[in-house]
Amino acid sequence: MKSNEPSYNEKYKQLEEVIESLQSTDTDLDSAVAKYEKGMSLIADLEKYLKEAENKITKIKAAKSK
């Protein structure tokens, strides 16, 4: 995910909200279809991120001490 995109955690949170509203009896069919599409797209993003991203390592030398 690029720096201006929502982070993994934010996207996962959005996904949880989508599932909750999809399972709610208050959500009508039209909104449910929209939520479903949003949820699937969030999952695709999360999967891509988990499969393709890497950890970033910066090595720093210890301060010279006595």
* Interaction of residue 6 with another protein, rule CB under 8 A: no
Least distance to another protein, CB of residue 47, Å: 6
What backbone phi and psi angles, to 5 degrees, belong to 38?
-65, -45
Tell whether residue 34 is a contact of another protein (CB under 8 A). Answer: no
Residues 24 and 29: their CA atoms lie apart, in Å, by: 11
HSE-up of residue 54 (Cα within 13 Å, Cβ side): 3
Site residues, another protein (CB under 8 A): 1, 7-8, 15, 18-19, 22-23, 27, 29, 32-33, 36, 39-40, 43, 46-47, 49-63, 65-66
